[in-house]
Chain A
Amino acid sequence: MAPATDDHRTSDPATARTEAAALFAAAARNDRAGTAAQLHCLAASAALTVLSGPVPATTDARDPDQLVTQALRVLGELEPEHFAHPDVLAAARHGRRALREPR
């Protein structure tokens, strides 16, 4: 899985989906995220229908909102025709909703 950093941007849809799914999965298991937010993150990760592989343990120390925001940014930087895919749209919708949920 490609590392997720601010200066790393990819236009490859498969890589972006894998990266975003891993970030959503990490947010979903983060203890600092509220239950509803965890469920949205889980749904977002599942919607991307990729095998995200092992989630790096380093992400556990990060704020879940940061993980979700970064996952959304990864998806948002896709080409519009790739972002328009129903799976990606659904994942982004769940991600945005996770950011609106109580902690």
Chain B
Amino acid sequence: MATSLGQLLDALADTAQTTEPTAAARADAGTALGQLGRALAQLRRDGVTAAMGDRREQQVGALAGACTELAARAPATESTLARLAAAAADSLAVLHDHTTVATRWAAATAVAETVTPLVQVMAGALPTGPAAQWLAEVERQSVLVQQTAALQPPSRADAAILDRPLAGPAVVVGSDPALVVPDAVAVLLRATGSGAELPSVAEVLAYTLAAETLSDAAQRLDSVAEPGAGQAAAPAWRAVRAALRPYDDGSRRPHHDAPPAVHAALLLHASLNRPGSDPASRPEPLRAAIAAAAQHLPTLATQLMYRTVRSWADTGALMAYARDVPPREERVAAYLRGYQLGGLVRVDAVDLQPVAGALHNARLLSLAVATRAAESGRTTAEFPRRALAANQALLGQPQTAAALVAATREAGRHLQLAHGRTSGPTRGR
């Protein structure tokens, strides 16, 4: 089951607050503080401010050091608190590729908040000595970080990192759509957010199919709403596939095995498109899962735009017929060769502008559908409120309203163009 850093830290704080302060619990809390120290040290190494040696970096480093020193003096034990803290620290390492200095500061603030209830588990019971001194130092440094966070609070957009879903097993399995949807979205975010592996065109087509299906399901949550920007996200994702039509990297062929992320995308699509199932009568857990998963669609579009498409442009990984991309003087010969081998050209950033534009529209319209989905029903305790808050903040920006109207119009135009191409001389894919 997918989880998130925010869920792990919330669970850790809740567990610490309800734990009886026994000797075993104190030892567990000490080990947990060591794990949080590991997380803070990682954040400090990666940087929590743009300026080197900033007060925030020093404070996070000092808190990390104090937690580590205290844990070194705690009995070696591991129970619920330590396991939750270890999972939180590990999740920060997983999130490394997706963080910025601002989001790392948001994460450090959340970790420092969690230190307080762990300190309370141990407070007043340690004999005078180095351990008690380090516990006092942990408390002092935690207060300093929280005080600086009061003066420089993270923004909603930065705090959304706490809700980013972390995939469990690489291969999504199961038949319950309410479980498949969150796991599949977590896998898709990981696949498109990794800088190490560049998705192929065929993989991106599968991801956008899943995004379209999820958008459509999210739009149907609010069946009584007036049609608007929140109802155009699914066509916008379809327009991304249409915009990708001219491009190939050799992956547009039958494959014997689907990579895990493609498998997850297809499973999500199948789960929400079961024959005979009525979208209007979906059970409440599935509706909640769809509304929660929709909050991550804008991030998926952003990653596809700024990682995948940019990497395609930088590496020249894609080919297209000169006739199918914006005309250029230096490609006259290739253009005249038509749909033959000699008519192929290597595409660059300019050629990929239609794809980037379609993804930009999909992102904007996904913001609208995500916020409407959240308003359409009850949300569970696991609902990614921070991601919703970030989506709302983006949607509330003054320039977004006009951009949404333009995106809705553009999504429709992309589709019309795609229909036009189907009947024309363009080589079918």
Smallest beta-carbon distance A20→chain B, Å: 10
A101 touches B385 (CB 8 A): yes
A80 touches B144 (CB 8 A): yes
What mask results when residues 387 to 413 of chain B are scored 1 for a CB within 8 Å of chain A, else 0? 011001100100000000000000000
Is B291 in the interface zone, CB < 8 Å from A?
no
DSSP majority for the A interface? helix
List the one stretch of B20-28, B46-54, B148-156 in contact with chain A.
B148-156
Smallest beta-carbon distance A80→chain B, Å: 6
Residues of A within 8 A of B113 (CB): 93, 96
Assuming the contacts A83-B143, A89-B146, A92-B146, asked whether A99 and B153 have C-beta atoms less than 8 A apart, the reply is yes
What mask results when residues 8 to 46 of chain A are scored 1 for a CB within 8 Å of chain B, else 0? 000000000000000000000000001010000000000
Is B315 in the interface zone, CB < 8 Å from A?
no
Is B360 in the interface zone, CB < 8 Å from A?
no
Residues of A within 8 A of B389 (CB): 34, 100-103
A83 touches B385 (CB 8 A): no
Is A64 in the interface zone, CB < 8 Å from B?
no
Is A77 in the interface zone, CB < 8 Å from B?
yes
Smallest beta-carbon distance A92→chain B, Å: 5
Residues of B within 8 A of A48 (CB): none
A103 touches B143 (CB 8 A): no
Chain B: how many interface residues by the 8 Å CB criterion? Answer: 27
B151 touches A72 (CB 8 A): yes
27 inter-chain pairs at a CB distance below 8 angstroms, sorted by A residue, are A69-B153, A72-B150, A72-B151, A75-B150, A76-B150, A77-B151, A80-B140, A80-B144, A83-B146, A83-B147, A89-B116, A89-B146, A93-B113, A96-B154, A99-B154, A99-B156, A100-B154, A100-B156, A100-B159, A100-B162, A100-B385, A100-B389, A101-B385, A101-B386, A102-B389, A103-B392, A103-B393
A96 touches B150 (CB 8 A): yes
A102 touches B392 (CB 8 A): yes
Is B109 in the interface zone, CB < 8 Å from A?
yes
Smallest beta-carbon distance A6→chain B, Å: 13
Is B234 in the interface zone, CB < 8 Å from A?
no
What mask results when residues 83 to 103 of chain A are scored 1 for a CB within 8 Å of chain B, else 0? 110000100110110011111
Residues of B within 8 A of A103 (CB): 389, 392-393, 396
Q: Give bound CA distance, A83 to B396, whole Å.
A: 33
Smallest beta-carbon distance B145→chain A, Å: 11
Chain A: which residue is nearest B106 at the CB level? A100
Known: A99-B156, A103-B392. 5 other contacts (CB 8 A): A92-B149, A99-B155, A100-B162, A101-B389, A102-B392
The 7 A-B residue pairs whose C-beta atoms are closest, nearest first, are A76-B150, A76-B151, A72-B150, A100-B159, A102-B389, A84-B143, A92-B150
